[in-house]
Amino acid sequence: MPARALAAPSPASWRRTVLPSGVHYHRDAEGARETLETLQAAGGAGRVLSFDVANREQCREVLEQDIAAHGPWYGVVSNAGIARDGAFPALSDDDWDCVIHTNLDSFYNVIQPCIMPMIGARQGGRIITLSSVSGVMGNRGQVNYSAAKAGIIGATKALAIELAKRKITVNCIAPGLIDTGMIEMEEAAQKEAMAMIPMKRMGQAAEVAGLASYLMSDIAGYVTRQVISINGGML
Task: Indicate which residues carry an active-site annotation.
Answer: 145
d(CA 127, CA 46): 18
DSSP state of 165: G
Q: Which residues pair with 25 in a beta bridge?
A: 50
Report the alpha-carbon distance of residue 201 to residue 216 in Å, rounded: 27
Residue from 65, 37, 38 nearest 49 by CA: 65
* H/E segment holding residue 232: none
C-alpha triplet 129, 35, 118: angle, nearest 5°? 45
Burial call 32-71: b when 16+ CB within 10 Å, e when fewer: beebbebbeebebebeebebbbbbbeebeebbeebbeeee
